[in-house]
């Protein structure tokens, strides 16, 4: 019963947080199959891999130094952030390499990364809630860890790994080999640093100063989350700017009407139109993708067949436009 409760209290909120991430991707939704795959990778592949590799590294430190406490500290503050962010980031990298046409904006990279990380956090929370929470303090201990890890710290993993998604998206959308090498590495380094910062503060401050240290750790975490959500807001409004710029040309071409243009460029109107019919939802998603591909054509040229993809999008938009 306690294990089932740990599963429900871990995966239920993770699905809720994932729904928020999906909702934030306002204009052009990412394919459900890739998002489900990313979540499952985080929940199983990354989690199991992290347990194995972090354990191996900790045992290595114990064997070399004979100091189990040093191994535990190193494992928490250094090995875990490196291993976990690398394994979560690997899922985003696979999508980046296998489906580059789905990386249309910085927001896309953040979405894939956050969904992967939420899968990881869900499984990790199950283990913590059951073994550390219930195992050491019964249902009261499980409840305390639920509040700390799932409610107060629920966005942690998603925010850390989001910076890997940002780095890969920048590499995808900017010309030049230097940025394509530097951006992903820098994104990974930021993710590892933020993860290590949280773990170190949680161990040292909370362990030394108790409640005061815990509050300080949470405040720093929430400030970092604020920065990440600020980047999300910027990315959403930048996508809307692309819509206004590149779809205006499609009105002049007669592909979409002035009314459809106004809906496509409005978050509020697009939500309302999408709720009315599946066809309208598909139509405005295609409009968003068209704007993004036209932006890529302007910045990157005709790489990966941008021109042909734009023409296919125009043909599909023309086909369903009258029904939207």
Question: Considering the chain, what percentage of its residues have pLDDT values greater than 70?
Answer: 98
Give the model's pLDDT for residue 324: 62
Question: Considering the chain, what percentage of its residues have pLDDT values greater than 90?
Answer: 73
Instruction: Give the mean model confidence (pLDDT) for residues 208-235.
Output: 91
Q: Rounded mean pLDDT of the chain?
A: 92
Condensed to tens digits (0 to 9), the pLDDT of residues 89-121 reads: 999 999 999 998 888 889 999 999 999 999 999
Give the model's pLDDT for residue 103: 86
Which of the listed residues 237, 256, 276 is the one where a domain comes to its end?
237
Which of the listed residues 237, 254, 285 is the one where a domain comes to its end?
237
Which residues have C-beta within 8 Å of that of residue 19, sequence separation ≥ 6? none
Residues 150 and 291 reside in one and the same domain: no
Residues 92 and 163 reside in one and the same domain: yes
Residues 41 and 184 reside in one and the same domain: yes
Contact status, residue 289 vs residue 316, Cβ threshold 8 Å: no
Of 221, 186, 155, 218, nearest in space to 21 by CA: 155
Residues 266 and 229 reside in one and the same domain: no
Residues 105 and 173 reside in one and the same domain: yes
Instruction: Give the mean model confidence (pLDDT) for residues 250-273.
Output: 86
Taking 80 as the threshold, does the pLDDT of residue 206 lie above it? no
Taking 70 as the threshold, does the pLDDT of residue 273 lie above it? no
Question: When comparing pLDDT for 84 and 305, which is higher?
Answer: 84
| 30 SS3 class | coil
Give the model's pLDDT for residue 43: 97
67 DSSP assignment? -
Residues 224 and 89 reside in one and the same domain: yes
Which residues have C-beta within 8 Å of that of residue 292, sequence separation ≥ 6? 28, 104, 105, 239, 242
**In the chain, alpha helices (H):** 2-24, 32-40, 47-65, 68-74, 80-98, 106-127, 135-145, 156-173, 177-209, 211-253, 258-264, 267-276, 278-300, 306-320
Residues 172 and 91 reside in one and the same domain: yes
324 DSSP assignment? -
Q: Band of the pLDDT at 306, cuts 50, 70, 90?
A: confident
Instruction: Give the mean model confidence (pLDDT) for residues 240-246.
Output: 92
Which of the listed residues 188, 222, 237 is the one where a domain comes to its end?
237
Give the model's pLDDT for residue 304: 74
Count of domains for the chain: 2
Q: Is 1 buried (19+), middle (13-18) or exposed (0-12) by CB count in 10 A?
A: exposed
| 31 SS3 class | coil
Q: Band of the pLDDT at 275, cuts 50, 70, 90?
A: low
Residues 178 and 112 reside in one and the same domain: yes
Residues 166 and 303 reside in one and the same domain: no
Taking 80 as the threshold, does the pLDDT of residue 215 lie above it? yes
Give the model's pLDDT for residue 301: 85
Q: Around Cβ 271, how many Cβ atoms within 10 Å?
A: 14
Taking 90 as the threshold, does the pLDDT of residue 41 lie above it? yes
- Taking the CA atoms of residue 95, residue 100, residue 105 and residue 106 in that order, the dihedral angle to the nearest 10 degrees is 40
H or E segment at 129? none
Residues 233 and 272 reside in one and the same domain: no
Give the model's pLDDT for residue 311: 93
Taking 90 as the threshold, does the pLDDT of residue 190 lie above it? yes
Residues 96 and 231 reside in one and the same domain: yes
Of 292, 20, 42, nearest in space to 164 by CA: 42
Give the model's pLDDT for residue 97: 94
Of 102, 110, 85, nearest in space to 230 by CA: 110
Residues 126 and 170 reside in one and the same domain: yes
Taking 80 as the threshold, does the pLDDT of residue 31 lie above it? yes
For residue 174, give its domain range. Answer: 2-237
Question: When comparing pLDDT for 196 and 24, which is higher?
Answer: 196
Give the model's pLDDT for residue 281: 85
Give the model's pLDDT for residue 267: 77
């Amino acid at each position: 019963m306690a294990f089932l409760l740990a599963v429900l209290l871990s995966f239920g909120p993770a699905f809720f947080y994932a729904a928020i991430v999906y909702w934030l991707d306002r204009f052009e939704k990412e394919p459900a199959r890739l998002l489900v795959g990313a979540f499952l990778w985080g929940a199983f592949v990354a989690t199991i891999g992290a347990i194995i590799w972090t354990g191996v590294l900790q045992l290595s430190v114990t064997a070399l130094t004979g100091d189990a406490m040093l191994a535990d500290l190193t494992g928490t503050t250094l090995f875990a952030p490196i291993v976990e962010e690398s394994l979560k980031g690997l899922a985003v990298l696979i999508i980046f390499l296998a489906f580059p046409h789905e990386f249309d904006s910085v927001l896309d990279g953040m979405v894939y990364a956050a969904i992967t990380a939420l899968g990881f956090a869900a499984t990790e929370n199950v283990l913590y809630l059951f073994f550390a929470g219930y195992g050491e303090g019964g249902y009261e201990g499980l409840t305390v860890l639920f509040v700390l890890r799932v409610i107060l710290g629920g966005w942690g993993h998603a925010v850390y790994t989001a910076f890997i998604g940002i780095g890969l998206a920048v590499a995808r959308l900017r010309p030049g080999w230097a940025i394509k090498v530097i951006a992903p590495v820098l994104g990974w380094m930021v993710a590892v640093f933020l993860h290590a910062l949280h773990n170190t503060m949680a161990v040292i401050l909370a362990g030394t100063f108790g409640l005061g240290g815990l509050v300080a750790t949470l405040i720093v975490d929430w400030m970092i989350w604020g920065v990440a959500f600020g980047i999300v807001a910027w990315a959403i409004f930048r996508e809307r700017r692309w819509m206004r710029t590149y779809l205006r040309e499609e009105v002049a071409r007669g592909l979409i009407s002035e009314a459809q243009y106004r809906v496509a460029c409005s978050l509020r109107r697009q939500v309302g139109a999408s709720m009315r019919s599946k066809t309208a939802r598909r139509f405005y998603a295609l409009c968003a993708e068209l704007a993004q591909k036209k932006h890529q054509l302007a910045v990157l040229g005709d790489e990966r067949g941008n021109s042909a993809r734009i023409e296919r999008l125009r043909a599909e938009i023309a086909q369903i436009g009258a029904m939207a």
